[in-house]
Amino acid sequence: MDPSQPKRGRGRPTSSKSKREKRKERNAAKRLDKTEEGRAAYLDALQKDSKRQRLTRRLAPYRLAAAEGDATAQFILGKIYEEEQIDDEAVRWFRQAANQGHADAQFKMGVAYEDGEGVEKSNEEAVRWYQKAADQGHAGAQFRLGVSYTYGEGVEKSDEEAVRWYQKAADQGDAAAQFSLGVAYRTGRGVQKSDKEAVRWYQKAADQGDAAAQFSLGVAYRTGRGVQPSDEEAARWYYQAADQGFRAAQFRMGLIYEDGRGVEQSDKEAVLWYQKAADQGNANAQFFMGLAYEEGRGVVQSDKEAVRWYQKAADQGDAKAQLRLGLAYEDGRGVEQSNEGAVHWYRQAADQGHAIAQFNLGFAYKYGEGVEPSDEVAVHWYRRAAGQGDADAQFQMGVAYEDGEGVEPSDEEAVRWYELAADQGHEKARFNLTSLRKAISFRDFNPDEKEIEAAFAAAEAKAAEHK
């Protein structure tokens, strides 16, 4: 073989190395694609591309007509962009259709301005567009216009104008307007108060599945306002609203199962409905869940679970739950015992006017449990609770005035507070009242030492005159 000729394979190492490098790069890319980040990026790109293609396909049939000024096509384009959550484009097409008098588009413009989606929020602009649509008989716009007049948003507040627009929408079968008209008749705002008329409009809305109206019908049958009272009918309407997830109705379902009114009594069913409402943040239901766990009704007794639910309700400002949390901290049930923790929650409830919490807070200040002792502050809280008729607090006010602790001593005030507590059957107040009255009578019959000394001095002075 001619040595000048390259051997087979000679001169290929560079080319072979390049292929190996490319193969390595491809393999590295494949490994990268196998990572979570790579897959996520790939899927995201694929989804965006698919979304663009879908949007293009949806828009295509209407673009030409919309560009030529067809209001219906413009409105449909606005709807498509709205569904795709491209608000600025949605508003652009709604506006073009609305300017041509398209009522649905005018309504959409009102909604956009009310919610500030695709435009700067403006209640005045919202009302302007609602008015245009409402004048064309658009029921949704008529209802929204009624709401604007109810709350004075974008217009001067007027219950009469609100009712006028609710009526127009309600007559067209708008369920939300029918319910609002029912509320107006129940409260007498903008119309003469009438429970029967309220029920009539609630019924219309409820028959269309409006949950708020169904709940209100339940309340009407429960209280007998505008209808003959019926626990069974109340339960029926509460259930329909509750079944739609209306949390106030779910809470009421819990109450009627607990009490057995209109349904067969069942603590387990009560807890089931309380749980549904509580999970949606209903503070009353959260409190009753805490009560169920504390007392072991419908659930296995658990102080920790009770505290957990009381905490949820208390964080929302429920005074009943705040009191229960205070008691839990005071007794160390479900939480580590803490007088300071007890005082914190008693104060929260007391500031909201809860009489028992006010009494407990007064007691804490009286005996220095979780706070620095102070008779004056104790009397302040006892007085607030006593003023609400709390017998224990009235008794403590009597003690304070009798002993002069935190107030100037006064037998008259002590007797007054003891009498108030005794009239409620407070045994200690009765005992103290009897004892205090005896002591007052004894003092009136037997002069005190100063009076005796004064009498002796007068007698001595008189005797000196005769010497």
CB count within 10 Å of CB 2 equals 5
Residue 409 lies in a domain: yes
pLDDT of 12: 41
275: Cα separation from own chain's centroid: 15
CB 289 within 8 A of CB 274: yes
Residue 304 lies in a domain: no
Residue 421 lies in a domain: yes
First to last CA, the chain: 174
Residues 6+ away with beta carbon under 8 Å from 93? 66, 74, 75, 77, 78, 81
Owning domain of residue 409: 379-457
pLDDT means over runs of 10, the chain (467 residues): 39 51 61 59 62 81 90 94 92 96 97 96 98 98 98 97 98 98 98 98 98 98 97 98 98 98 97 98 98 98 98 98 98 97 98 98 97 97 98 98 96 96 97 92 64 66 65
Q: What total of structural domains would you count in the chain?
A: 1
Residue 410 lies in a domain: yes
Q: What is the pLDDT of residues 371-418, one digit of tens each?
A: 999 999 999 999 999 999 999 999 999 999 999 999 999 999 999 999
CB 321 within 8 A of CB 306: no
Residue 411 lies in a domain: yes
CA distance 63 to 51: 18
Return the structure tokens found at 15.
């080319």
- The angle formed by the CA atoms of residues 220, 226 and 229, to the nearest 5 degrees, is 55
Residue 398 lies in a domain: yes
Residue 401 lies in a domain: yes
Mean pLDDT of the chain: 90
Residue 383 lies in a domain: yes
Return the structure tokens found at 461.
């002075």
